[in-house]
Amino acid sequence: MSTARIGVVGGGLAGMAAALCASDAGADVVIFEQRSVLGGLTSSIRRNGLSFDNGQHVFMRCCSAYREFIERIGATSQVYLQRRLEVPVLAPGGRCASIKRTALPAPAHVAMSLARYRHVSLRDRLRLVRPALALKKLDLSDPSLDKISFGQWLARYGQSEAALARVWNLIALPTLNVPAGEASLALVAKVFRTGMLDRVDAGDMGWSKIPLGELHGGFGGRALSAAGVELALGGRVTSIEQVAGGTVVIGSGERQEVVDALVVATPPKQAAKLGAFGGDPDRLGTSPIVNVHIVWDRRVTDLALAACVESPIQFVFDHTAAAGLRSGQCLTISLSAADAYLHQGSSQLVAIFVEAVREMFAPAANARVLDALVTREKAATFRAVPGTGPLRPGARTAIPGVFLAGAWCDTGWPATMEGAVASGRRAASEAMDFISGTAVHDCRYVEGVRR
């Protein structure tokens, strides 16, 4: 019996995960990526000898699929994972609180830090208990959760605007890329249940210690090559067509590739153009992310990360080492649901956030800005609002032998790195099952080169 041939369109996290799983399961695999590098929306750029990521991506300890992917590509030592969740929350004037956990069972593991959380009133702090306990009891498979917003649900529990902005948004906004009040209750419940409430250590945060382009594109590319995956970079796939015998023909420029099954791991609009997605991409909507990177002539904070309230800053990360900066400090300000900032000029945004950093960190008052850069992802994620669930497709498509993957697909997660990797693995399993004619494959990574 000849070796199965699987094609993958798209070299982001979903596509790379699908390719590695299919290769580890014994298939010959080719990846088509229109850019010259891998990594998709988790990329980096070079400027004045430094590296800047297009977005500050983080993961949690509960992100098992993503963490297994990082292990498979040999990059575990290149990411940092907190021993215990701790997020300093700053406000102008030097006011500081934190969200951190203890070893107590969830949700009591964060109770002490919330009891001392000075950014909301004592009354608001006491009122956090009921919705936290109610979230823990929700049935994540209940489709009615996708019919209302988190804001509507929280109103039942007397949550104030201050609690929404200064507590619930700290987790919901960066993970769902929409304000907590607008987000689908189904997706918020998934994040809070899996990331905070079901397991005491689930919410411990992690991030890359090196540029994302090197973490995913560099380590990922080398792992793919070692596994025998063919990398067809710099060519756009313009057509897919099923032919007799169940094979699929991929058209990319003058090249035609015949495969036994195909995984389309692209954004929804590209998948629709190829005929792999029969839905309306516009109905999923988009939500942007903007990052402001500021290089200072000296260190202005010793914090690795911080959330901010009563400030235009949402989250700020120390990106100094990852940028390759030898002196001074590089801070990356991450802005989720950044519709208000998307069309503002870079110089205007830099001025806003330089002033905001100086208001938040006293040592920045006398520091000099050496360089600054604004990165924008206009369609970073789908818009995670009520009614999104039925619009997100599963792995199977109307074309036999063609399967979908991507963070926008039906993973149960919002658009996260975890969802992207999980969807790629599922699509690879479906492709292998299609080729074999039996549902026996549960694609897992295998150490070493392809069997």
Given 140, 174, 202, which residue is the final one in a domain?
202
Same domain for 31 and 55, yes or no, is no
Residue (of 101, 81, 437) closest to 261 by Cα position: 437
Same domain for 183 and 309, yes or no, is no
Helix (H, G, I), strand (E, B) or coil at 438: coil
In a domain, 151, yes or no: yes
Asked whether the beta carbons of 375 and 275 are under 8 A apart, the reply is: no
Same domain for 132 and 185, yes or no, is yes
For the chain, how many structural domains are there in total?
3
Our separate counts of H helices and E strands in the chain read: 16, 20
Helix (H, G, I), strand (E, B) or coil at 424: helix
**What's the chain's average pLDDT?**
93
Range of the domain at 181: 101-202
Same domain for 54 and 34, yes or no, is no
Given 202, 222, 246, which residue is the final one in a domain?
202
Q: What is the mean pLDDT of residues 118-125?
A: 96
Same domain for 113 and 169, yes or no, is yes
Give 282 or 249, the one with higher predicted confidence.
Answer: 282
Same domain for 279 and 397, yes or no, is yes
Residue 447 pLDDT: 45
Same domain for 37 and 51, yes or no, is no
Residue 442 pLDDT: 64
In a domain, 49, yes or no: yes
Residue (of 164, 377, 406) closest to 269 by Cα position: 406
Asked whether residue 441 carries a pLDDT value surpassing 70, the answer given is no
Residue 244 pLDDT class (50, 70, 90 cuts) = confident
Tokens of 54: 């297009």
In a domain, 29, yes or no: yes
Same domain for 106 and 190, yes or no, is yes
In a domain, 295, yes or no: yes
Same domain for 186 and 256, yes or no, is no
In a domain, 119, yes or no: yes
Asked whether residue 449 carries a pLDDT value surpassing 60, the answer given is no
Given 145, 177, 202, which residue is the final one in a domain?
202
Task: Decide: pTM greater than 0.75.
Answer: yes
In a domain, 234, yes or no: yes
Same domain for 279 and 395, yes or no, is yes
Asked whether residue 106 carries a pLDDT value surpassing 90, the answer given is no
